[in-house]
Structure 1
């Protein structure tokens, strides 16, 4: 008999629209392995005013590529203010009634996988699973509230900070299994002394690591199908490419500073694809500083990214070294797209549990300075064809370990282990 798996991810609406993404690919591969999977998400899109109309009901459904989606009624939220809090709260409050109603027509699940970004989804997953007497796997894709503290949106020792930390601890304790997307995230539990060995109440044996990754087959197919005309991609220049958000944490100004150092290198050009709240400021810099070797390309459809990366010479994984704790590793989707493109990678920050170092597929900078970045670009450019091809091949081969076909097998092991432990508990 097929096991029913519910995947709860508030923001999976974008995956429905893009027909891709972590839980979309998990669902797709779980279904191929004989599981019955349903994705529950909000009827709103992240940071967009558009929404999926549910009428007067609490939810609506649709199926795409054999994956059923349940869209839970919420309210649109732009930015990170009160509307965002309301959006999260409505998803939490409404999903219980939605789940009960869905069970009437489709039967109850065998396992709930509740995924952050925000913790209320995991709280709801644990509470619903307890009512149904089934296991709940909590997937922690971002360490809340540590990320909030690091961006100074709340103080750790404030009342709000203590409440958030207590809630986080409760989730880790109550979940039947925990999935972290960075290899070193369990170090956080050790730092907090929440593990059993240090007198805490969290069993590290229930903590697992499944990073983000890439659907390699889809990536390669998309690169062939979704081509587009961009004369800068078709030159014989050495293309230094960045694709992604343009926000303070991405520190794109650092790339511009490196470009200024390399302005005399006529055969090197910097192509920056993406959008964000620093885009206009950086475009102004390019104009005023006459950075003729930099092209700010703006927003591009996600489906064109594999094609863009196929034209790169080196890909820049660019972050601020001070606005995030990189000691536990990296779960950036961009990293695995870069690897899948089979091109060398330069990371402007040195990562703990480094995937780039493990697979020898690029360079990590020690100090994240523009000069160091410029030197790394020149170093990659000056490699012999044999040396360059080896690094490129390492990137491509490394991506195979993060293909969602392989990652789904890890998820199945966790699903089966919690299901068996719950059976013993009931007996």
Structure 2
């Protein structure tokens, strides 16, 4: 029998539905390596209607692609606010019952991996692991509460802010190991002077880095099988492609501003795929300002994205410079899908711990002004074919380093380490 690994991710319900995502791919590869993973998630979908019926019980189970899923009962939350708090709180509370009952039937785990979307999952992981006398690995995918402070949802020096920071410190101190998804996130512990080298109580040796990544096998299969019929994408023009959310943090309006500056270049067009609360506003701008070289394509199914990206000329990572701290790196899923497409990338943000710079697979802008973005597109368009092909190959090579087969081996190393 292989070692039992429980992976907790509140929003992994979407991974069950889509047959993809970080913990789905970890689980898939863990099974191939002889482990027995189980994914615990909410019975509701993130920001979507619909749910997995628990039949009035605290949890229910199902198996998808040989991966056992445990759906913990909670309350739907389509927007931030009181319902979101209830959603998180019920997941936290019901995890205790679900873990206890599941362990009675299937045996306790050898390791719990509690992954943050919110810190309550990690708190539950530490507390339940202690009861079961097994190690708990806490995976920090977003630095709470720093992200909350960045979006001005709370003040760092307020009573609430101080409580959040104390809770965060408690998690870092009590976890048997920590996994950060951005390479520079351990700098945060140093900045807080929580590490033992500065008199704190957190050993940096238990901090690890495993970024998000891509399942290259699945990506390449989808790219070849899910052909997207789109006359713009299939044209002979130089296609600058953006795929992702259309909301303030993604600063998609900047793309329209840049496109207007080079509208006289009929051989270049910008294709925007995605949805969000700014989509209608941007469509209105394209129409009213007569921006002829921008096509807003709207929502596309995840299974179509690999083919779209693979048909691009250059893929665009477009972010706001002011709404997030990029100094510690980037862990967006989009980055790794872009690299897997084997096409160069333009980023409107200069990242710390830059993957684009490390692998020389694109251009990063010091400033994300429309002028700078327009010039970077022209630079990529004029680039000698040999250099363009080198950057394309570098992108593919980078994706291989972030393939989940490799990332899972890194995870296994941490699992084995906490059990020593």
TM-score (norm 2): 0.99
Q: Secondary structure at the match of 1:249?
A: helix
In 1, Cα distance between the equivalents of 2:113 and 2:169? 18
In 1, Cα distance between the equivalents of 2:51 and 2:226? 26
Q: Secondary structure at the match of 1:172?
A: helix
1:423 corresponding residue in structure 2: none
Task: Give the deviation of 1:334 after TM superposition.
Answer: 0.4
Task: Give the deviation of 1:278 after TM superposition.
Answer: 0.9
Task: Give the deviation of 1:136 after TM superposition.
Answer: 0.1
1:14 corresponding residue in structure 2: 14
In 2, Cα distance between the equivalents of 1:373 and 1:119? 37
1:176 corresponding residue in structure 2: 176
Task: Give the deviation of 1:382 after TM superposition.
Answer: 0.4
Structure 2 unaligned segments of length 5 or more: list them: none
Task: Give the deviation of 1:228 after TM superposition.
Answer: 2.4
In 2, Cα distance between the equivalents of 1:292 and 1:34? 54
Structure 1 unaligned segments of length 5 or more: list them: 421-427
1:323 corresponding residue in structure 2: 323
In 2, Cα distance between the equivalents of 1:277 and 1:381? 31
In 2, Cα distance between the equivalents of 1:15 and 1:56? 23
1:140 corresponding residue in structure 2: 140
Q: Which moved more, 1:352-361 or 1:220-229?
A: 220-229
The 5 Å alignment of 1:203-352 reads: 203-352=203-352
In 1, Cα distance between the equivalents of 2:110 and 2:387? 50
In 2, Cα distance between the equivalents of 1:116 and 1:289? 42
In 2, Cα distance between the equivalents of 1:82 and 1:22? 28
Whether 1:114 aligns to 2:114 is: yes
In 2, Cα distance between the equivalents of 1:225 and 1:20? 16
Deviations 1:89-124 (A, max 9, x none): 000000100111111110000000000010000000
Task: Give the deviation of 1:79 after TM superposition.
Answer: 1.1
How many aligned positions are there?
Answer: 420
Deviations 1:193-218 (A, max 9, x none): 00001111000000000000000011
Q: Secondary structure at the match of 1:295?
A: strand
Q: Secondary structure at the match of 1:62?
A: strand
Whether 1:410 aligns to 2:410 is: yes
Deviations 1:189-244 (A, max 9, x none): 00000000111100000000000000001100011111121111110000000000
1:368 corresponding residue in structure 2: 368
Deviations 1:370-393 (A, max 9, x none): 100000000000011111100000
2:94 corresponding residue in structure 1: 94
Q: Secondary structure at the match of 2:108?
A: coil
In 2, Cα distance between the equivalents of 1:151 and 1:329? 18
1:377 corresponding residue in structure 2: 377
In 2, Cα distance between the equivalents of 1:116 and 1:387? 40
In 2, Cα distance between the equivalents of 1:174 and 1:275? 39
In 2, Cα distance between the equivalents of 1:199 and 1:228? 56
In 2, Cα distance between the equivalents of 1:150 and 1:230? 38
Deviations 1:36-92 (A, max 9, x none): 110000000000111111111111111011000000000100111100000000000
In 2, Cα distance between the equivalents of 1:32 and 1:367? 44
In 1, Cα distance between the equivalents of 2:393 and 2:39? 35
Deviations 1:335-375 (A, max 9, x none): 00000000010000000000000000000001111100000
1:165 corresponding residue in structure 2: 165
In 2, Cα distance between the equivalents of 1:87 and 1:175? 24
In 1, Cα distance between the equivalents of 2:64 and 2:192? 42
Q: Secondary structure at the match of 1:271?
A: strand
The 5 Å alignment of 1:411-426 reads: 411-420=411-420
Structure 1 ranges of 4+ moved more than 2 A: none
In 2, Cα distance between the equivalents of 1:250 and 1:265? 25
In 1, Cα distance between the equivalents of 2:230 and 2:354? 33
Q: Which moved more, 1:233-242 or 1:221-230?
A: 221-230
2:43 corresponding residue in structure 1: 43
In 1, Cα distance between the equivalents of 2:126 and 2:351? 32
Deviations 1:250-276 (A, max 9, x none): 000110100000111001010000011
In 2, Cα distance between the equivalents of 1:268 and 1:378? 9
